[in-house]
Amino acid sequence: MSVKESDLKQDTPCTSSLSNYLWRDPPQEKKWADCVHCGMCLESCPTYEQTGEEQHSPRGRVYLIKAVAEGKLSVDEHFANPVFSCLDCRACTTACPVDVDVGGLIEEARGQIRQAVPLKGWKGAVNKFFLHGVFPHHNRLGSLGGLLRFYQRSGLQKAIRKTKLINIMPQHLIELESIMPEVKRSIRKTLIKSKGETKHKVALLTGCVMDVFFSDINDSTINVLTRNGNDVSIPPNQTCCGALHVHAGDREMGRKLAKQNIEAFEKTDKVIVNAAGCGCMMKEYTELFRDEPEWKKRAEEFEKKVVDISKYLHDAGYDKPKAAINTRITYHDACHLAHGQGVRQEPRDILLDIPGVEMVQMPNADRCCGSAGIYNITNPEMADAVLKSKMENVPEDVEMISMGNPGCMMQMALGVQKYGRNQKIVHTVQLLDWAYQKEDGGDHHVRHKD
């Protein structure tokens, strides 16, 4: 996409009298101006694949977003439907001959919709509970983690499952409950020194979901980093990246969280992220501050520091493990890694560097799995249809599916269970860590507590 000088003056709230976008931070004209309606995006879109309806295609959505700005449509529930049915998977941007930022337009449009049509009912409750009540508050997410830990350890989980109380939950929540990872204690240290000589100093985003549900992936990330000469700091005042909020149209909260993270990581040169969704969001913080020049500048500086763990290892270098893990695996491209950050080959190279690993190519590996933040909770039917297509592409004879995003990991685990498969779901960095641990003859899991 070429950003022309003349575009810059369009980089202001839509002041056209025709526009039906009435709030701050509307979809930007320069984002849709490049779209010539050619349709090359159609087949890349999972929701178009499922419905065949063009308002649920990237081209159609861009067209409708433009129509609101031209005053042909209003911001109401009918407009909200196609805009919120988008998985924000960004596959269309990869397919687009001119890189139209459909994801960015969708997020901006959602911001307008949420102000025009506040959510009510079940969806409203879910959004409010998670987005305002839990994710922004590390301690509350921790408490939720504690609660879940209690739920799992105390026998309550067994009891609920046994007493069939579970049957009164909505179907998709029952499914999610059944694949809920075991909740462990999260990381409390603020600095973990390199195991050998310190070559680099990096900071780690521990993330909200990652920290509670997948803390062993954070452990693996730290193990892999410290083993390869990195001092790892974990700034304590960091918070949720805000991706879930921005995807849901809550840009105000997104900005709040972004500011906190920009400040928290101000003193570090590299921010390592092991969740593709978070990495992608943090690389787009600038988008949130179009009308706050001061913060925009800081966001631009911040974005440069953010890097996915696989890309970081690939660029900074890592020891090739010597111990073999004999397994047949396949790799799933998380949308926000492949389409969002252009990271495709790096994780595959890491996996192939582990002796004994045999890679089987997954057809359409960069097709969305349907997780998409909390999409699988808010749009369960579509998420499930997308998951079904995804699972049909998982090769029969592999033992593991590797990927780089916690949301995908949960969704794929659900897919494995639901469609009677038996693959283990692993994060790329976990497999590397296991190989190192095997090489060192140590325990499988080294944890970093208090």
Partner 1 sequence: MSAIRIDTSDQHIINLAAIVGGTRSILYKKADLLAYDCDGFTIHKHLPKAVVFPENTEEVSKLVKYCADHGLPFLARGAGTGLSGGAIPVNGEVIISMVRMKKLISVNLENRRAVVEPGFVNLKLTNSISDRGYYYAPDPSSQYCCTIGGNVAENAGGAHCLKYGVTTNHILGLEVVLPNGDIIDIGRNGVLDEPGYDLLGLLTGSEGTLGIVTKITVRILKNPEGKQTVLAYFDKVEDGSQAVSDIISAGIVPAALEMMDKTAIEAVEAAAFPVGHPKDIEAVLLIEVDGIAAGIEEQINEILEVCRKNKVREVRAAKDEAERGRWWANRKTGFGAMGAISPDYLVQDGVIPRSKLPEVLKKIAQISEESGLRIANIFHAGDGNLHPLVLFDARKPGEIEKALEAGSLCLKACADVGGTITGEHGVGIEKREEMRFVFKEEEILAQTNIREVFNPNNLLNAGKLFPTPGRCVEIKKENNALLGRNV
Instruction: Catalogue the E-assigned strands of 234-385.
Output: 271-273, 306-308, 327-331, 357-359
Q: Does 55 contact partner 1 by CB under 8 A?
A: yes
Which helix H or strand E contains 311, and what residues bound it? helix 309-316
Q: Which residues contact 350 (CB under 8 A, 6 or more apart)?
A: 310, 313, 314, 318, 428, 429, 432
* Cβ closest to partner 1, residue 74 vs residue 237: 74
Q: How many CB atoms lie within 10 A of CB 50?
A: 17
Structure tokens that stand for 178 in this block = 């059944």
Among 11, 43, 269, 358, binds partner 1 (CB under 8 A): 43
Residues in 77-116 that interact with partner 1 by CB under 8 A: 78-79, 81-82, 95-100
Shortest Å distance, C-beta 391 to partner 1 = 19
Pairwise CA distance, residues 372 & 369, whole Å = 8
Q: Does 52 contact partner 1 by CB under 8 A?
A: yes
Q: Judged by CB under 8 A, which stretch of 74-82, 135-143, 294-302, 339-347 contacts partner 1? A: 74-82
- CA angle, corner 356, sides to 355 and 359, nearest 5? 105
Q: Does 17 contact partner 1 by CB under 8 A?
A: no
Q: Does 343 contact partner 1 by CB under 8 A?
A: no
Q: Judged by CB under 8 A, which stretch of 48-56, 161-169, 270-278, 432-440 contacts partner 1? A: 48-56
Among 14, 20, 25, 41, binds partner 1 (CB under 8 A): 41
* Cβ closest to partner 1, residue 49 vs residue 303: 49
Pairwise CA distance, residues 129 & 149, whole Å = 19
Structure tokens that stand for 355 in this block = 């002796």
Q: Does 187 contact partner 1 by CB under 8 A?
A: no
- Smallest CA-to-CA distance from 27 within 117, 100, 131 is with 100
Shortest Å distance, C-beta 73 to partner 1 = 6
Pairwise CA distance, residues 144 & 213, whole Å = 10
In the shown chain, the binding pattern of residues 267 to 286 toward partner 1, with x for contact by CB under 8 A and - for none, equals: --------------------
Alpha helices in 117-191 (DSSP H): 121-127, 138-153, 156-162, 171-178
Helices and strands of the chain, counted as H and E runs: 24, 9
* Cβ closest to partner 1, residue 22 vs residue 98: 98
Pairwise CA distance, residues 237 & 235, whole Å = 6
Q: Judged by CB under 8 A, which stretch of 27-35, 132-140, 303-311, 391-399 contacts partner 1? A: 27-35
Among 9, 37, 120, 164, binds partner 1 (CB under 8 A): 37
The residues of the shown chain that bind partner 1, judged by CB under 8 A, are 1-2, 33-43, 52-55, 57, 59-60, 63-64, 67, 72-73, 76, 78-79, 81-82, 95-100
